[in-house]
Structure 1
């Protein structure tokens, strides 16, 4: 514990503590706007209330979206798809980082848009996806890949979000689907068959793996169907 406490003090001394880091965000946003033309940053804050009155001199951090000009430009030369996901940040304030990534023709991965939010909910995903659509991915016919999170579904299905077919389409990430599938069908072969079917490039190849799943257990083929 002593070593850990010393490490935390050293990190705070070099990089600043949690409060100082959040206080620096407005200055950071201004600096990158001045030094990198074309960068997109959207900072949202919440008012501080003292005794029922708004204190104009203070504000809480709420959300921050950002993307860099090379990332926006690179998207024009990549596959017309975007994979989105979130990860929890284990710090004092427990924020969540949402990220969008893309692939080039050689399947190399490039993160291209980021947002720091209070957590994964319909409002935070809508904030991310609306700015993603506005500033980075205005192209029609885009494929969005994600897990089956209900809040992502709600954000993508918003009538004014710009993500409904035929403007955009949605697919599920097979890694997440296979992980959930394995909770019910625990054999390694079952998961392998599902993944092979998902990666099939032709209908004939898909039917081949699907028929094997059907012969192993018809329930495997019905598992992903909506109620």
Structure 2
């Protein structure tokens, strides 16, 4: 639902047509064809109509969602091609797998022409219907919701029984002390290896005296 570009991206085609190896050209062929201007957001937005003709499934996607995805894509290309004030550039954009894109955005909420409505308890979409929303904090007065992002995540909220919350203890693990609780109790480092080091050295001597691979050697190794 979120793929809004061709399988052969116009920006990739433009790069392939306008670039070649700095030290040699192809020995077979190097067709460049007609070189158009660099494709940008407005160019790709104008191609959405043709995209829907080539891929009829795109007609089921909100046009607003497709335009926002093109904006995100254009921003990623510019971040890669144009360095910032410190001279750093982002990585080259890559095609995302179907499982990587799990969200889609809407630039208008509760607008007369918006496809997304929010009544304080649920999101109402023209194609999805009503989606119940858990509002984790109240919306301040005189604030207006302008955009909406719907994300698919596997989140399961399970209430914690009171018997666990009453006896909950906070623990901080450190270097000087093994752990410190929220009540101020400290537990020193156990030093298991240091305490058993001499005993381990004696058992290692016994292993070295056995014939490698014998049953007695295996028993000594186990100990």
TM above 0.5: no
Larger proportion of helix = 1
TM-score norm. by structure 2 comes to: 0.29
- Which structure: larger Rg? 2
